[in-house]
Amino acid sequence: MNQTSATARPASIEFGPTVYHVSRGSHGEAVEISDFDLWYGAKQALFSISMGVEAGLVTALIGPSGCGKSTLLRCLNRMNDLIDGLRIRGRISVAGQDLYAPAADVIAIRKQMGMVFQKPNPFPMTIFENVAYPLRVDGIRHRAMIAETVERSLRGAALWDEVKDRLHESALGLSGGQQQRLCIARAIAGTPEVLLMDEPCSALDPIATAKIEELIDELRGQFTIVIVTHNMQQAARVSDNVAFMYLGRLIEYGDTDTVFTAPKNERTQDYVTGRFG
């Protein structure tokens, strides 16, 4: 593990350099990942990833299982800090600030980067309290403000009409799809700049999935969204840009149409056409 430079570089030799297409952005980059490596103990999971996430757009991370999509996503809000023996090298910056700078405030970073998980994880509280949680954590006591934020977030997550009469019932009584939308509402209640979603639909049925996709479409423009998905159609439907990863490397990155219709790398081609994965 001490010969990191020796193991990191040949990656590009084996798989060829990352293919970058023109991305669809026009507002500049919200997140800038440059030459990022990551090790779980002795095992390297990410190999010199470099990409910029366009502000206000939806960027999808695709790739076969175990290729490091979740790992990369969880680096964006430093969720990986909880793991023992994790080492990183390189730079991720959000709005020009280095996430992994020694002086960086992890809590402030996480407030900037909302996150939605694979399995809905509502807290065992009322629906209202779930959405109000990011505000409570900030120490906000102002009732009217909390109520307003909760309503705005629930409307934003297209859940308001379904739950407005049962705000003070347990969130655990909601259906899976509703729970996931509640988690989205919770994530946007903290007014983040970036929304990170790790396979948000993989535990849901097609109808609930369609609702979430619709919702992502509505949130486009308000937030920068990074979404991990296994579903090619979903990636094609919701994303503006796509990054294809393979064995910890970023293979191809660019606007969705180009990556899906005219991929340069053979592995990307195989994957998006469903030939492997």
Partner 1 sequence: MNTAPAASLPESARDANASLRRAISETRRRNAGKVRLAGLQGAGEPWQWCLGGALALGILMVLGLLLLVFWNGLVTFWPRPIEQVRLHDGTVVAGEPVRSQTFRPGQEVLAALDPAPRSGIERNDGMAARTLYRTGNYDLYGDDFRWLPDYEIAEVSRPWDLMLVERMEWGVFVGRIVAISSGGQRAPVGDVRSPDLIKRHEEARRRWQSIRALERGEIGAVNHRLEQERLRLRRASLANPEGGTALDAARQRFAEREAALKAQHQVLADRASGMRRAHEGDLVVLADAAGREKEMPLGAIVRFYPANDLSLAERLGVYLSRWGEFLLDEPREANTEGGVMPAIFGTFAMTLLLVLVVTPFGVITALYLREYARQGRLVSIVRISVNNLAGVPSIVYGVFGLGFFAYILGGSIDQIFFPERLPNPTYGTGGLLWASLTLALLTVPVVIVATEEALAAVPRSMREGSLACGASKWQTIRNIVLPRAMPGIMTGVILAMARGAGEVAPLMLVGVVKLAPELPIDGYFPFVHLERSFMHLGFHIFDVGFQSRNSEAGKPMVFVTTLLLIALIFAMNVSAILLRNRLKRRFQGSQF
| CB closer to Mg ion out of 74 and 181 | 74
- Nearest approach in angstroms of CB 150 to partner 1 is 14
- Nearest approach in angstroms of CB 88 to ligand ATP is 13
- Nearest approach in angstroms of CB 103 to Mg ion is 30
Q: % helix / strand / coil in the chain, to the nearest 5?
A: 40, 25, 35
Binding residues for ligand ATP, total number by CB under 6 A: 12
- Nearest approach in angstroms of CB 262 to partner 1 is 26
The two three-digit tokens of residue 156, written as one number? 């934003």
Question: Using CB under 6 A as the criterion, what x/- string covers residues 28-47 for binding ligand ATP?
Answer: ------------x--x-x--
| CB closer to partner 1 out of 20 and 40 | 40
List binders of ligand ATP among 72-101 (CB under 6 A).
83
Residue 254 pairs in a beta bridge with 242
Sheet holding 29-40, edge to edge: 43-54, 29-40, 86-94, 97-98
3-state SS, residue 243: strand
- Nearest approach in angstroms of CB 61 to ligand ATP is 8
Positive or negative, the CA dihedral 151, 155, 156, 159 is positive
Exactly one of 11, 21, 52, 69 binds ligand ATP (CB under 6 A); that residue is 69
| CB closer to ligand ATP out of 85 and 124 | 85
Minimal CA–CA distance to 113: which of 230, 182, 30?
A: 30
CA separation for the pair 52, 136 (Å, rounded): 32
CA separation for the pair 277, 273 (Å, rounded): 10
- Nearest approach in angstroms of CB 133 to ligand ATP is 25
**Tokens 């619709």 label which residue?**
214
- Nearest approach in angstroms of CB 83 to ligand ATP is 5
Q: Which residues of 105-142 are buried (b: 16+ CB within 10 A; e: fewer)?
A: eeeebbbbbbbbbeebebeebbbbbbbbbbbeeeeeee
Minimal CA–CA distance to 33: which of 104, 94, 92?
A: 92
Residue 71 binds: one of partner 1, Mg ion, ligand ATP, none (C-beta under 5 to 8 A by kind): ligand ATP
| CB closer to partner 1 out of 57 and 182 | 182
- The answer to whether the CB of 226 falls within 8 A of the CB of 114 is no
Q: Which amino acid is at 105?
A: D
> Any contact of residue 18 with Mg ion (CB under 5 A)?
no
Residue 111 binds: one of ligand ATP, partner 1, Mg ion, none (C-beta under 5 to 8 A by kind): partner 1
List binders of Mg ion among 66-105 (CB under 5 A).
70
Residue 262 binds: one of partner 1, Mg ion, ligand ATP, none (C-beta under 5 to 8 A by kind): none
Binding site for ligand ATP (CB under 6 A): 40, 43, 45, 63, 65-71, 83
